[in-house]
Amino acid sequence: MAEHILAIDQGTTSTRAIIFDSSATPIASAQTELTQYFPRRGWVEHDPNEIAESAISVSEQAISRAGVTPNDIAAIGIANQRETTIVWE
């Protein structure tokens, strides 16, 4: 029975994934930095492909470090920076 939760935090400077057990205790995590682009003063942009790829990569790393399989994940929570729009499939 799936009892773990995968949390993905996609922020301005990095993407992080954390695996929680059924007691809400974090048991593994992974993080990678994101490239920031500054097209003009006061603006920051990110590559949407890099965001999506980093979310997949850190999720796979955290699952592996936790010693669980994707079938052990009961739910996924995603938090991202505001004003970000990407279609997640």
What tokens were used for 43? 């603006």
46-55 pLDDT, tens per residue?
A: 898 999 899 9
pLDDT range class, residue 89, cuts 50, 70, 90: low
Domain ranges of the chain: 4-80
Name the superfamily (CATH) of residues 4-80. Answer: ATPase, nucleotide binding domain (3.30.420.40)
* CA distances, 13 to each of 26, 39, 45, 86 (Å): 22, 16, 11, 17
pLDDT range class, residue 88, cuts 50, 70, 90: low
> Please, what is the average pLDDT of the chain?
92
